[in-house]
A and B are shown apart, each in its own frame.
Chain A
Amino acid sequence: MKIRVHVSLKPGVLDPQGRAIHHSLEGLGFAGVNDVRAGRLFELDVAETVTDEAIDDMCRKLLANMVIENYRIEKVAA
């Protein structure tokens, strides 16, 4: 079973990397970009027996830092 975990900074948490990427896009001449937030994508290949609760637990215990980040779990069709 393929799982994607999308981790992003919570709203309100300063993202200097996103800001630098934004500036770079503007420097390349792309107009109309209002904001950029950088995140992270994990692709997991897990056994069919792994429960949703276990995947949620993995996110909370390691993949995301719940102080500053949110996560979203996506199951990918094989």
Chain B
Amino acid sequence: MAFTSAVITFPGSNCDRDMAVALEKVSGTAPHRVWHGHSDLPQGLDFIAVPGGFSYGDYLRCGAIASRSPIMQAVVAAAERGVPVLGVCNGFQVLTESGLLPGALLRNAGLNFVCREVALEVANAQSLFTSAYEAGQVIRVPVAHHDGNYFADDATLDRIEGEGRVAFRYAEEVNGSARSIAGLLNDAGNVLGMMPHPERAIEATHGGTDGRGLFESAIRGLVGA
């Protein structure tokens, strides 16, 4: 069964092509490419990816303008119906700004743009996005961000940790994120936001293939095979 996915592109997105290539390489089917100004998504989507970049030049706050764009109203509605949504890097910022995920992403605690491969611990290996990994497994995935310092109030942090909604934690100091949160699920488990870039770790020539498991998890979970 074909895996029907979509990659959203905003003005200033720059990881949309990488995301589309990753989805096609792992699933065998090229995703739909959807422009921010559209107000409707293609029919029958199995998966929506909100990619990284600097949507709208990071004006106002990272992800803030994109999260109010016409297509995001459709993405939020789809997520609320249970369609899986993956937001990576700026995509994670868009998902928090849109209210699909709690908290916010602040300027990195060290103030520097961090662009390197980091170690991540798989904190929840039971989710739609992480079932191909083992709980506690350490994977290596690149990060490239200036505003990845996850913040939420203590009550929210306690709740999301208690509900097993932390998908990935940094296994080293990266950006000052609360409780080392690198990737976070919504309460229904169909939305994942993460700062690291799994789509940049798909083929050996990328320097590693540890990101592949995320796409394999989702594709296997959604369409089998």
Q: Is the CB of B68 within 8 A of A68?
A: no
A residues 1-31 touching B (CB-CB < 8 Å) = 13-14, 16-17, 20
A residues less than 8 Å from B121 (CB atoms): none
Bound-complex Cα distance A28 to B102 (A):
39
Known A-B contacts A14-B149, A14-B151, A20-B111; the reply to A67 vs B106 at CB < 8 A is no
Q: Is A62 an interface residue (CB 8 A)?
A: yes
Q: Would you give 12 A-B contacts (Cβ < 8 Å), ordered by A?
A: A14-B151, A14-B176, A16-B108, A16-B110, A16-B176, A17-B107, A20-B111, A61-B68, A63-B60, A65-B64, A67-B102, A68-B104
A residues less than 8 Å from B106 (CB atoms): 13-14, 16, 68
Bound-complex Cα distance A13 to B96 (A):
16
Bound-complex Cα distance A65 to B64 (A):
9
Taking the closest CB of chain A, its distance from the CB of B97, in whole angstroms, is 7
Q: Is B109 an interface residue (CB 8 A)?
A: yes
Report which B residues bind A (CB closer than 8 A). 60-61, 64, 68, 96-97, 102-104, 106-111, 149, 151-152, 176
Bound-complex Cα distance A13 to B149 (A):
11
Where chain A touches its partner, the secondary structure class is helix
Bound-complex Cα distance A65 to B97 (A):
8
Bound-complex Cα distance A20 to B102 (A):
27
Bound-complex Cα distance A62 to B68 (A):
8
Q: Is the CB of A16 within 8 A of B109?
A: yes
B residues less than 8 Å from A14 (CB atoms): 106, 109, 149, 151, 176
Bound-complex Cα distance A20 to B107 (A):
12
B residues less than 8 Å from A61 (CB atoms): 68
A16-B149, A62-B64, A68-B106 given; name 11 further pairs at CB < 8 Å.
Answer: A13-B151, A14-B109, A16-B106, A16-B110, A63-B60, A65-B61, A65-B97, A65-B104, A67-B102, A67-B104, A67-B151
Taking the closest CB of chain A, its distance from the CB of B186, in whole angstroms, is 15
Q: Which residue of A lies closest to B178 (CB)?
A: A14
A residues less than 8 Å from B109 (CB atoms): 14, 16
Taking the closest CB of chain B, its distance from the CB of A40, in whole angstroms, is 9
Bound-complex Cα distance A14 to B151 (A):
9
Q: Is the CB of B111 within 8 A of A16?
A: yes
Bound-complex Cα distance A17 to B61 (A):
14
Bound-complex Cα distance A4 to B68 (A):
22
- Report, nearest first, the 6 A-B pairs whose CB atoms are least far apart: A67-B104, A68-B104, A16-B107, A16-B111, A16-B109, A20-B111
Taking the closest CB of chain A, its distance from the CB of B180, in whole angstroms, is 15
A residues less than 8 Å from B111 (CB atoms): 16-17, 20
Taking the closest CB of chain A, its distance from the CB of B175, in whole angstroms, is 10
